A and B are shown apart, each in its own frame.
Chain A
Amino acid sequence: MQEPELHDLSDDADYAASQQHGSASMMRSDSGKHSSSSEHDGAEVVYLKDNVTIHPTQFASERISGRLRLIKQGSSLFMTWIPYKGQNSNARLTERDRNLYTIRAVPLTEVRSIRRHTPALGWQYIIVVLSTGLAFPPLYFYNGGVKEFLATIKQHVFIVRSADDANVFLVNDFQNPLQRTLSSLELPRALSVANGQSTSVSVGETSSDENQERTSGDVYEGSISSSQYNERQRQRVHDPARDLSIQVLEKFSLVTKFARETTSQLFRDNHSNGYGAIERRSNNLSPIDYPQKASNDSNKVPDKSPVPPDSLEFDKVSLVWGKPRQAPLGSDEWKTFLDYEGRIMDSEALRKRIFYGGVEHELRKEVWPFLLGYHAYDSTEAEREYLRAVKKSEFETIKKQWQSISPEQAKRFTKFRERKGLIEKDVVRTDRSLSFYDGDDNPNVNLLRDILLTYSFYNFDLGYCQGMSDLLSPILFVMEDESDTFWCFVSLMERLGPNFNRDQNGMHSQLFAITKLVELLDIPLHNHFTQHDCLNYFFCFRWVLIQFKREFEFDKTMRLWEVLWAHYPSEHLHLYVCVAILKRHRSKIIGEQMDFDTLLKFINELSGHIDLDAVVRDAEALCICAGENGAACIPPGTPPSLPVDDYGLLLYPQQELDDVL
């Protein structure tokens, strides 16, 4: 067999990442069992694109262009890419290279996934990963056409978008897409391909236990040993910035890197996007226009748009999302979660279900008390009824404590008067545009006041703090009953109370965790914040303090809250939501070099313009990508964790906090 099977790997980091299982099966990708390109009897070309090019080296000038085709034969679909003859851009690229890279008819049944890259600037490209783990070099679409390519495939083959990387399309195998993509964490195997094929420079470092299965024979056998390749490879190996092995010597940096790479594909990944944004600035858009403008852009063809659309918005056409949001949980389905005495049999399944779809409004009254922790999942209906009765009388007792304060007593009770005054000022400016709370002497506004005042007696140390009325309002709207609302609010405050501590400890620990998560998941953005003195993350203050209550319309807020309260896949998903929103606007933030003031303004004006489903989906993906390292960014006791003990927050390095805040 004459075909050199090894292709020179681009040093593209994403490419390496896509190589997860690497080299072991390099040999069998197109080892003769497929027909050659000339044997498509009765075949129909369903897709054809010229000027699809590979860059065998890091130099864009060295390229091999060819024709990409999808060919349908019978019920099978094949992909071919044949380089043009005699059109190599560079004398260094020989006929041998041409043959080396040629993709003979590869049946789509042997393709595991296709990773799509639609960078803001530069060419779109795809990386095709075979079920064996082999990946072809990135195919650059000089004339566009990635979208059509994927759409064509979708017409013939079952293809599904990966749950945790919207740019990865899984072909044939989507039984467990999550596992699939997560398995790519085992980067060293991929690297062993890059390193193994050339010199031994870093093979020794990377061929640790993770890639024992790779035998050197696999790599070298039948492959090029041309000095040209070695030379080319060596250039990269000796370029520290490009030598991936340096970055993956230890597991931590490896996972971190994976997380960054994966998420940088999830979101538009380069600052250069910002240039387009700046051009647009000359249109003198008011800040409020930006979000709308951005979404309008997503309808354009990406490579013609000055500011390319968010890759997540790209090609809404038809390709299935990995884990689309579901319809809200309805009462029939809800009943299936209950046993004959009304216990929730599988609370985790329930929480997961709610995470992906929320709850129908009529059902919220029944479900929220579980999510909030007022009712235990394993309680029976009867037990809950009993608890409600007991709690109702307890509520009345606490309420009487302040109701029984006479005017004479109040005169001598400054703290009470102040607290009451503060609450009264705030309830009349909480969600008054909602019919439930509008109009003069609205009884529900009075209920808000009574519940907050009662709470400030129930938890006298914490008292009342601005923001609490925002948290209470949707709960009253859902629960209606005063005592139930109170106890649900109490449960919520068990978790969010630290947000309102006098020392702002709860807020600081959350803002600090966001700092760490952005550092983990988006280094350029983190660097931007560092350089522009934004590391205190106060621009996220409102988001965190009241759980995005001011950022979404009322019904959307309720949906988001139940999704967050499901505590799936993380108790701290709200922090990932913060990161997701920031990431969605990263190119603008970086491109326009926003300083603290501008950023704060920009963030405040995002209110009402955030796509809830999209950011939740992003947040889920980010959370999964970040994995344990993400969890490690979040100190114990960070709200909304239930306090482990009174000193939970002391575990937190105060020094570090002071440095940042």
Chain B
Amino acid sequence: MPSRRRTLLKVIILGDSGVGKTSLMNQYVNKKFSNQYKATIGADFLTKEVQFEDRLFTLQIWDTAGQERFQSLGVAFYRGADCCVLVYDVNSMKSFDNLNNWREEFLIQASPSDPENFPFVVIGNKVDVDGGNSRVVSEKKARAWCASKGNIPYYETSAKEGINVEEAFQCIAKDALKSGEEEEIYLPDTIDVGSSNQPRSTGCEC
């Protein structure tokens, strides 16, 4: 029997190139910010243990390339997602306008069972830039869009300064947890060679 039971929660971060997806992920998981991030090629993910009501969960956060041209790859990475984070740069109208594309593209490629109620979280990043003077997307405008898409939770963050990042991801984790059926998996510390270590759903453990 598994000594510990955890739940894997898969989160996908989407948004235009350069809005700060990698930075947000690293700020949340590693509490670090670097000016030397490179443009993400392909995809990568980080994991973080989170605790909710005495239960341990593994948050698996996927960071993908932001250029539209790579969107066709999404199909390989989006499947099984429990929550999708849409990120834009508050200093770039284009990145905000594109949120709708990202949302729709995600729903097409991930094809969740209940697209209407699939949890998204929107993050407006880079609020620190130029003391907010270069900001072009108002909070009001962003919240209005979120409301129109089924009350998507909205956070404004600075991955650089670590502002509001923890809070945003708390919400992301919570929403991921609520999302549809939980996929309980057994992540053993040591693997029994004779048996498969494939994820099993709770349904199988009767």
Contact = CB atoms under 8 A, between A and B. Distances in A.
Interface string B14-51: 00011000000000000000011111011111000000
A550 B43 contact: no
Contact of A601 (B35, B41, B44, B69): B44
Contacts of A538: 42-43, 73, 76-77
Interface stretch (B106-114, B124-132, B167-175, B188-196): B188-196
Given A466-B65, A500-B69, A502-B69, A545 B39 contact: no
A601 B58 CA distance: 15
A281 B94 CA distance: 46
A477 interface: no
Interface string B136-149: 00000000000000
A504 B72 contact: yes
A465 B69 contact: yes
A435 to B, nearest CB: 13
B60 interface: yes
A418 interface: yes
Contacts of A421: 94
Contacts of B44: 600-601, 604
B67 interface: yes
B197 interface: yes
B201 to A, nearest CB: 15
A469 interface: yes
B26 to A, nearest CB: 13
B133 interface: no
A284 B42 CA distance: 27
A612 B65 CA distance: 26
A430 B190 contact: no
A79 interface: no
B117 interface: no
Given A282-B189, A429-B38, A422 B67 contact: yes
Interface in A583-634: 592-593, 595-597, 600-601, 604
B195 to A, nearest CB: 10
B3 interface: no
Contacts of A500: 69
Interface string B147-181: 00000000000000000000000000000000000
A286 to B, nearest CB: 12
B5 to A, nearest CB: 19
Nearest to B89: A425
A541 B41 contact: yes
Interface string B64-83: 01110110110011000000
B45 A467 contact: no
Nearest to B43: A600
A124 interface: no
B77 to A, nearest CB: 8
Nearest to A549: B41
Contacts of B72: 503-504
Nearest to A507: B73
A338 interface: no
A466 B43 contact: no
A429 B39 contact: yes
Given A425-B18, A504-B72, A593-B196, A546 B41 contact: yes
Interface in A458-494: 465-467, 469-470
B2 to A, nearest CB: 16
Contacts of B43: 538, 541, 600
Contact of B39 (A284, A466, A604): A466
A426 interface: yes
A426 B69 CA distance: 15
A628 B129 CA distance: 57
A433 B17 contact: no
Closest 4 CB pairs of A and B: A425-B18, A541-B42, A542-B42, A542-B41
Given A422-B17, A542-B42, 16 more contacts: A275-B193, A278-B193, A281-B191, A282-B190, A426-B18, A429-B36, A465-B69, A466-B70, A467-B41, A500-B69, A538-B77, A541-B41, A542-B41, A545-B42, A601-B45, A604-B42
19 contacts: A418-B94, A425-B18, A425-B39, A426-B18, A429-B37, A430-B38, A432-B35, A432-B36, A469-B39, A502-B69, A504-B72, A538-B73, A541-B42, A541-B43, A541-B73, A542-B42, A545-B41, A601-B45, A604-B42
